[in-house]
Amino acid sequence: MSRLPSVKLGVAYLGAVLSVAVVVQLVKFISYLPASATPLPDEPSSQERPSTAWVVLHNVSLICCFLFLHSALADSAVKGFFERWGLRDQQRSIYVIVTCISLQFLLYSWQPTPWFVLWNLNINSNHWLWWMYTILHVYIWILVYAGNLMLDVPELLGIKQVIYSNVELQNPENYKSSSLQRLRKHMNHTSFLGFSILFWVYPLMRLDRVIFAVLLQLYMVINWNPDSQDLKYMKEQFEHKKLEVK
């Protein structure tokens, strides 16, 4: 008996585990609140630190490489390549793994600019502001997570494709409603507004964070283009989910 189905499923589950680990790192990267913007004693002096231009180029290169891989692996030509090699059911899980590795590399290699601060509001000394910030970010992350649940997490991670293939069913996307397929073509992730709040509602805004926010939002604007029909479908699904919870 061939062990290939088990191997494929193992790869898909590996992608799911990596996704959870990287999402935790991403939440920390975006929402973690340091004590202040004051340089620490062991931070390099102005003579020792790299130039601002070099750090900007370094960080921009990291984001561009990540976004290129994230987009290229979802291209129809790449999907066709996997299909020709009999790995159509594995394409999504490999896409997830490569995306996770590239995003983790970005987070690990990212260079902050503690010497270039646009604004610094020390909310750690204000009990109410700290709680407002924390509740807002937790709430937005919950909304982002809930939005992805609507798009079918097992399929997004590539697990469902492998399972369906093992029992000789069609690609799970073929069983989705035309409205959902249409939405996913226009927006494969949810909550542009939510990410905008997470990026910009932050008390310590350094140059590197501005670069991170601007480039990712520019990518979202270019690639996320839901229309009125998509928004109507999302509203209907949201109301349906609320009734299910009740």
Characterise 191 by phi-psi region: left (phi > 0), alpha (psi -120 to 50), beta (else). Answer: left
Helix axes 91-109, 159-166, angle to 10 degrees: 160
What is the pLDDT, as a whole number, of residue 216?
94
Scan for tokens 């997570």, then name that residue.
Answer: 145
pLDDT digits (tens, 9 = 90+) for 166-190: 877 777 776 676 766 666 666 666 6
Residue 199 has pLDDT above 90, yes or no: yes
| Average confidence (pLDDT) over 4-25 | 88
What is the pLDDT, as a whole number, of residue 27?
95
What is the pLDDT, as a whole number, of residue 243?
64
What is the pLDDT, as a whole number, of residue 90?
85
Residue 64 in tokens: 């561009």
Q: Give the span between the Cα atoms of 90 and 158, in whole angstroms.
A: 7
| Domain boundaries, position 149 | 4-245
**Which residues touch 81 (CB under 8 Å, ≥6 apart)?**
none
Q: Give the span between the Cα atoms of 146 and 153, in whole angstroms.
A: 10
- Which of 179, 118, 109, 121 lies closest to 151, judged by CA? 179
- Bridge partners of 117, per DSSP, are 206
pLDDT digits (tens, 9 = 90+) for 49-72: 778 999 999 999 999 999 999 888
Residue 98 has pLDDT above 80, yes or no: yes
Predicted TM-score of the model (pTM): 0.82
Q: Give the span between the Cα atoms of 35 and 232, in whole angstroms.
A: 42
In the chain, the number of structural domains is 1
Q: Give the span between the Cα atoms of 83 and 108, in whole angstroms.
A: 33
Average pLDDT of the chain, as a whole number? 83
Residue 38 has pLDDT above 60, yes or no: no
| Average confidence (pLDDT) over 128-134 | 93
